[in-house]
């Protein structure tokens, strides 16, 4: 933790972002680019709010990132940095009004 705040982690290996309509472009582009400058950073996960969709970027080497995606409540996503697999049905189990993954109006 950061000395002056208990809300700041200084050496993260995994960062998870829940996307909103207003920040999804920034989170998946500029913010991710900034995070990559953190030496301990190994994995970035984006979770959509309104559809069962999760994407992960895992650092395999200094300039090599692997992307994996999971779409649908019957799928799961592997979090390589912490050696954990999580089902999307568990991620979204308390989400109300979840839209179908094929809904063209869901971001």
Domain spans in the chain, listed from the N-terminal domain onward = 14-91
Topology (CATH level 3) of domain 14-91: tt1808, chain A (3.90.1570)
Structure tokens at 65: 């990132």
Backbone angles phi, psi at 80, to 5 degrees: -70, -35
Rg of the chain (C-alpha set): 15
What is the value of pTM for the model shown?
A: 0.83
Q: Could you report the per-residue pLDDT of 49-99, keeping only the tens digit for each?
A: 989 999 999 999 988 999 999 999 999 999 999 999 999 999 999 998 888
Cα 69 to Cα 46: distance, rounded to the nearest angstrom? 9
Note whether 54 and 18 are within 8 A (CB). Answer: no
Note whether 57 and 43 are within 8 A (CB). Answer: yes
Cβ count within 10 A of residue 58: 18
Cα 21 to Cα 54: distance, rounded to the nearest angstrom? 15
């Amino acid at each position: 933790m950061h000395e002056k705040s208990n809300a700041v982690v200084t050496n993260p290996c995994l960062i998870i972002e829940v996307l909103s309509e207003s920040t999804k472009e920034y989170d998946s582009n500029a913010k991710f680019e900034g995070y990559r400058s953190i030496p301990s950073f190994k994995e970035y996960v984006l979770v959509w709010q309104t559809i069962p969709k999760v994407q992960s970027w895992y650092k395999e080497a200094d300039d090599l990132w692997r992307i994996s995606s999971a779409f649908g409540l019957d799928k799961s996503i592997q979090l390589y940095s912490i050696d954990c697999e999580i089902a999307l049905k568990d991620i979204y189990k308390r989400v109300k009004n979840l839209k179908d993954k094929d809904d063209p109006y869901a971001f």
